[in-house]
Structure 1
Amino acid sequence: MDYTSLNVNSSTGKTPTTAAQSSGAADTQDRFLKLLVAQMQNQDPMNPMDNAQVTTQLAQIQTVTGVGTLNNSIQSLSGQFQQMQALQSVSLVGRDVTVPGNKVAVTDGKAQMSFDLADAADTVKLEVLNGAGAVISTQDLGAMKAGNQNYTWDASKSPETANLSFRVTATKNSNPVSTTTLMHDTVKAVSTTGSTLQLDLKNSGLVDYDKVRALG
């Protein structure tokens, strides 16, 4: 199990940029206060700043500082959430997931295939293709409702069982229905790239975590 790609700072719970952002907010406030003091020292004695002006400017810097602090807090929480999500996703290693894809894995003479229909269809056709892209099996599945569908293909009599893929075509009233082919795969490792959490799958390689449709 590979943990090296998880950038988690357990001692501080902060993202690497939090300290720099806090320093920047403090510098901004310090510069503002210096400018305000200089303005008061060099004001026209015959026309001095009134209390309302000073109060307004102080309120403005407090507002800016408060917004900056809130932004830093949100970014820190976001970083901690991403780290928690990465750690929790480690429990997926070794588990099966369903993701968009069209590869066919034959086990004990059978292959489980899934697909999603955007709308109900009058006719649905599933085709299994070999590595060269030639159709080696065609299954007419008839009418099907919208949503996720599963089909078990009997590959015991198929001349080929390796490097297979499948495609699904569907129509409703002679109009094409959008389909998304899905495949079952096994999680080998978890990886983080910037703010993106990815799963390293046995057959599909790296897939974004949010592409996972189902577990098991």
Structure 2
Amino acid sequence: MAVIATPTSTNAVSQSLMDSMNKKAGAGNEISAEQDKFMTLLITQLKNQDPLNPLDNAQVTSQLAQLNTVTGVNKLNDTLESLKTDLAASQSAQAVNMINHGVLAAGKTMQVTEGKGIFGIEVGSFADNVQLEIKNGSGKVVHTMTLSSVEPGVLPLAWDGKLQDGSTAPDGNYTLSLAATTGGKALTDAQALTFGTVASVSTGPTGAKLNVPGLGQLSMDDIKQVL
């Protein structure tokens, strides 16, 4: 009389493997090894199943679905990690190309050198009138500017250093303030932009940082415009 072997632990082992795979979804080589083990055990189950108590099709389908899910998650993680690496490399390359270039970033200060200063403004919506004031270190208004019909976006500006009395402003730091209106109503999405020149680039876990004398370290997201 033939004796039919009835596996008692194969189902448990394969489920154990699935649990193990789910815990190791981030390790590509380990996942591949676990997948091979799973398929080997599944084939063994099918070959040695009890004819009177065959392996449930629903269970096989469920285990295969789990296998596909883990494989998909692992591939997705690999893809995202690759994209993250590529993005970081691209950002670093862009940052390096900005060395010695002037940039505009949010800020209310302006450095006057040899009687000239560069700055900018940013408005989020159309402004029919923008009033600008330039103040010296004592807080005194030394120059005013009026702009009309300013479209949304970034607008680079320059000051020739001429004071209201016709003399030239001394070199140093000045403060910018602005008031933007449309139809007589004040806009809250307008701001002054400060200017600086990128001297070097630093890289780290948080990405590339631009070292701008007078402004400190700026991220790529801080840059409103490259001049």
Q: Given the alignment of the two structures, is residue 144 of structure 1 paired with residue 154 of structure 2, yes or no?
A: no
Aligned counterpart for 2:104 among listed residues 98, 103, 114:
98
Cα 1:165/1:38, change in 2 over 3 Å = farther
Superposed, 1:1-216 pairs within 5 Å as 21-26=27-32, 29=35, 32-33=38-39, 36=42, 46-49=52-55, 53-54=59-60, 57-132=63-138, 134-147=139-152, 148-156=154-162, 157=167, 160-177=170-187, 178-216=189-227
Amino acid at match of 1:77: L
Instruction: Provide the identity percentage.
Output: 31
> Using CA pairs below 8 Å that are at least 6 residues apart, which structure has the higher relative contact order?
1
Of 148-157 and 113-122, the range deviating more from structure 2 = 148-157
Contact 2:112 2:170 in 1 (8 A): no
Q: Give the Cα–Cα distance (whole angstroms) in 2 for the partners of residues 208 and 124 of structure 1.
A: 28
Q: Give the Cα–Cα distance (whole angstroms) in 1 for the partners of residues 207 and 172 of structure 2.
A: 32
Q: TM-score, normalised by structure 1?
A: 0.73
Cα 1:62/1:150, change in 2 over 3 Å = closer
Q: Give the Cα–Cα distance (whole angstroms) in 2 for the partners of residues 169 and 208 of structure 1.
A: 27
Contact 2:210 2:219 in 1 (8 A): yes
Q: Give the Cα–Cα distance (whole angstroms) in 2 for the partners of residues 170 and 179 of structure 1.
A: 6
Q: Cα deviations across residues 177-196 of structure 1 (Å, max 9, x unaligned)?
A: 23121122111121223243
Contact 1:25 1:69 in 2 (8 A): no
Contact 1:117 1:180 in 2 (8 A): yes
Q: Cα deviations across residues 63-94 of structure 1 (Å, max 9, x unaligned)?
A: 42133123213312321331233134212222
Q: TM-score, normalised by structure 2?
A: 0.70
Computed over aligned residues only, the root mean square deviation of the Cα atoms, in angstroms, reads 3.1
Match of 1:163, SS?
strand
Contact 1:111 1:152 in 2 (8 A): yes
Q: Cα deviations across residues 97-155 of structure 1 (Å, max 9, x unaligned)?
A: 222222212132121221022233343211112335x1332414052322333433232
Amino acid at match of 1:175: K
Contact 1:116 1:146 in 2 (8 A): no
